[in-house]
């Protein structure tokens, strides 16, 4: 096993960016699990180099940096605006070993074998060819280097939430699963991403020539139970309020979603039923009433598959 550091935290508690980034990290992870289980499993040498593929605003890069400040972490993302935003956050947090570049996951700006860790979080579901990104991540790893992918399990499996305002009847659950499966199938057929990339990831990593050493789940499920003591619960409730204030997806997004369902074999009736089940007046009304009464208790099964693999050699 490589030498690793201890479990020092370095979140700057001040500043809006730090607060929102911490909330994002905490919604997906319990801090103790990251410090004591996940990061030690990675076996990254002191002073090692890592890439965070599809870094977005850098949530995973900052989370790792907060546990392992010794690492050089480079976040890459094709979206220049996100890269600029993450760069500002790194500067505000005084993280001079964390940097960001504009690049695509299928063409990483590193030579073969250059890195100790290649990681991604909620990215492989968004790309047209998850295998191409995983193969590229494998290429830039040194022999023995670590691959880490953290990806939603499967949109259809995660589509059914539980709360005390609108108990899910079996027929409704089956229908939601069926329609979401169609959505996912259509999305993949249109080359718009693979909602099953998480559950498939260990197989994809194996097919990319990596040695899969561990497959886990993240340890956190989103929940909001009165009196919503934690910032994460307050965040879940605030998001629900935002959803109720909004009129749902804008027409462009709605059309895009409908195309997915149709490409997955759905009829116009299936499209209408999908929107009704996920965003219709009935579900909105019961949620609003429970929120107003302060009684809403919700559990959202946001499980992610954590794939850990090593480059052989
Ligand atoms: C849901 S966000 C996740 C961001 C970040 N990893 C996090 O956990 O907060 C998905 C990210 O994947 C990026 N992305 C999309 N296509 C990509 C590609 N081909 N290569 C690398 N990143 C990509 C998007 O720009 C976006 O930032």
> What is the DSSP annotation of 40-71?
HHH-PPTT-EEEEET-TTTHHHHHHHHH-TTS
| Paired tokens of 204 | 């994809």
Is residue 16 exposed (0-12), middle (13-18) or buried (19+ Cβ within 10 Å)? Answer: exposed
Q: Render each residue's pLDDT in the chain as its tens digit; 313 residues.
A: 333 333 333 334 444 544 555 566 667 888 899 999 999 999 999 999 999 999 988 999 999 999 999 999 999 999 898 898 899 989 988 999 999 999 999 999 999 999 999 999 999 999 999 999 999 999 999 999 999 999 998 888 878 778 888 777 889 889 999 999 999 999 999 999 999 999 999 999 999 999 999 999 988 888 899 999 988 899 889 889 988 998 888 899 899 999 999 999 999 999 999 999 989 998 899 999 999 999 999 988 778 999 999 999 8
Mutate which of 77, 82, 220 to test ligand 1's pocket (most atoms within 8 Å of Cβ)? 77
CA of 241 to the centre of ligand 1 (A): 26
pLDDT at 167: 74
Distance of alpha carbon 75 from alpha carbon 109, whole angstroms: 11
CA distances in angstroms from 23 to 17, 30, 131, 236, listed in the order given = 10, 11, 30, 10
Residue 125 structure tokens: 């579901």
Identify which of 52, 54, 120, 192 to mutate to test ligand 1's pocket (most ligand atoms within 8 A of the CB): 54
Closest Cα to atom 9 of ligand 1: 59
Residue 97's pLDDT is 97
- Which phi and psi (to 5°) does residue 250 adopt? -70, 165
- Among 85, 1, 98, CA closest to 51: 98
* Residue 217, both tokens: 């789940």
In angstroms, how far is CA 119 from the centroid of its own chain? 12
pLDDT the model gives residue 2: 34
- Model pLDDT, residue 290: 94
Q: Which residue, judged by its Cα, is nearest atom 16 of ligand 1?
A: 127
Looking at residue 168, what is its pLDDT?
Answer: 77
Spatial distance between the Cα atoms of 88 and 74, rounded to a whole number of angstroms: 14
pLDDT of 154: 85
Rounded distance from Cα 49 to ligand 1 centre (Å)? 20
- Residue of 34, 74, 78 best suited for mutating to test ligand 1, as the one with most atoms within 8 Å of CB: 78
**Residue 197 Cα, ligand 1 centroid: separation in angstroms?**
13
Atom 20 in ligand 1: which residue has the minimum CA distance?
A: 105
Ligand 1 site, CB within 6 A: 53-56, 59-60, 77-79, 82, 104-106, 121-123, 126-127
């Amino acid at each position: 096993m490589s030498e690793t550091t201890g479990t020092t935290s370095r979140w700057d508690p001040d500043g809006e960016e730090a607060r929102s980034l911490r909330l994002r990290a905490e919604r997906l992870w319990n801090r103790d699990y990251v410090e004591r289980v996940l990061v030690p499993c990675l076996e990254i040498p002191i002073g090692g180099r890592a890439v965070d593929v599809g870094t977005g605003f850098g949530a995973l890069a900052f989370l790792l940096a907060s546990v392992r400040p010794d690492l050089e972490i480079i976040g890459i993302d094709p979206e220049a605006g996100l890269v600029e935003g993450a760069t500002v956050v790194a500067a505000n947090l005084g993280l001079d070993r964390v940097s960001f570049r504009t690049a695509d996951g299928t063409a990483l700006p590193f030579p073969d074998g250059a890195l100790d860790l290649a990681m991604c979080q909620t990215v492989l579901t968004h790309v047209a060819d998850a295998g191409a990104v995983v193969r590229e991540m494998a290429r830039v790893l040194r022999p023995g280097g670590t691959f880490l992918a953290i990806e939603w399990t499967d949109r259809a499996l995660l589509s059914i939430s539980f709360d005390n305002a609108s108990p899910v009847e079996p027929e409704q659950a089956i229908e939601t699963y069926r329609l979401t499966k169609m959505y996912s199938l259509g999305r993949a057929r249109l080359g718009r991403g693979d909602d099953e990339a998480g559950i498939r990831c260990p197989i994809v990593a194996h097919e990319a020539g990596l040695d899969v050493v561990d497959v886990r789940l993240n340890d956190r499920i989103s929940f909001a139970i009165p009196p919503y003591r934690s910032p994460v619960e307050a965040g879940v409730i605030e998001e629900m309020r935002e959803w109720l204030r909004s009129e749902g997806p804008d027409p462009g997004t709605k059309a895009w979603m409908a195309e997915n369902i149709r490409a997955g074999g759905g009829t116009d009736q299936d499209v209408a039923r999908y929107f009704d089940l996920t965003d219709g007046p009935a579900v909105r009304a019961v949620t609003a009433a429970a929120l107003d009464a302060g009684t809403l208790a919700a559990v959202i099964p946001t499980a992610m598959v954590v794939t850990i693999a090593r480059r052989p050699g």
